[in-house]
Amino acid sequence: MDLRPLARTGVKVSPLCLGAMMFGPIGNDNRADAVRIIHAALDAGINFIDTADTYSKGVSEEIVGEALQGRRDDVVLATKFYSAMDKDPNHRGGSRRWIMREVEDSLRRLGTDHIDLYQMHRPDPDTDIEETLGALTDLVRQGKVRYIGTSSFSGSQIVEAQWVSKERRLERFVTEQPPYSLLVRGIETDVLPTLLRHGMTSLVYSPLSGGWLSGKWGKDNPPQPASKGRPAFRFDMANPANQRKLEMVDDLSALAADLGITLTELAIAFVIRHPGVTSAIIGPRTMEQLETVLPAVNVELSDETLDRIDEIVAPGLTVSLADHSYGEQELKPERRRR
């Protein structure tokens, strides 16, 4: 695979990033099989792996660490902090207290002495961003972390963090991890342009929109709401937005067929075409799923094809608001003005 610059860090990463969320009890609980999938991805040219402390409560990090024994130096390794690891209210969030403890746990589980990209999994409305950036800056200076990033930050939150970094002379976030797909295009209106203005980039998650763009479903074969690891509300066929998605999926499938490629290949080729996207996170649970995704890096989409996509799903449109991850904290009832 041709490697791409990770923002302005000088680091080069593959256009596909192996997401490890499905390794562990939440997805594939066969550790040996998960390790084989990771090795196959590395052998195929992927040099970028993303996980998080909260994925299967640390098991995903353990599996990644096992798989990278003897191969750690060849991989750009990313993980995340923020989400609750247990019921203790202090074992979560963006506080210095929690970051300094949890980074040690992630390093131990990953079996490494440093994390290449340490990301804040969600904005923390209860913690000053200067507090978080101060702790992360110390980790960079200690050599435990190389670069820092965010996930699901809005445009205004990205700008605020950049301002604080400059004013307080702290490390700056260099990446953002948002949801992005043919059906979830909201970040095109603000987040992606903001990243480009600030010299940042993105590694986007859910490029297949949680399975909607895998080619398995359509109007004649809608997904079932109840499935392991799949939020039912995102697949509720009583939701008019999901009915619209089924219609769009059929149209996109027809477009892919006209191009002689699969819908999966079309979906991934689309997201990695955007100049604000460095890498698309793929999250295979099986070897077959990995092999289905890999050919997408060789697909080139013409401007004519992109125009046809825009006719099906308008630029900047997120078809169902249930599919985006912005405003999760701000829109909670206790935070809304009533």
Residues classed as catalytic: 55
Query: Shortest CA distance to 152 belongs to which of 94, 99, 102, 100?
Result: 94
The Cα 24–Cα 2 span in angstroms is 30
Tokens encoding 211: 């399975």
Which residues partner with 333 through β-bridges?
A: none
List Cβ neighbours of 299 (8 Å cut-off, separation of 6 or more).
261, 265, 266, 268, 269
List Cβ neighbours of 24 (8 Å cut-off, separation of 6 or more).
34, 55, 56, 59, 60, 63
Cα angle 132-133-134, degrees, rounded to a multiple of 5: 90
Tokens encoding 170: 């702290």
The Cα 63–Cα 81 span in angstroms is 17
CB contact at 8 A, 176 and 195: yes
Tokens encoding 10: 């000088």
DSSP code string of 94-159: S-HHHHHHHHHHHHHHHT-S-EEEEEESS--TTS-HHHHHHHHHHHHHHTSEEEEEEES--HHHHH
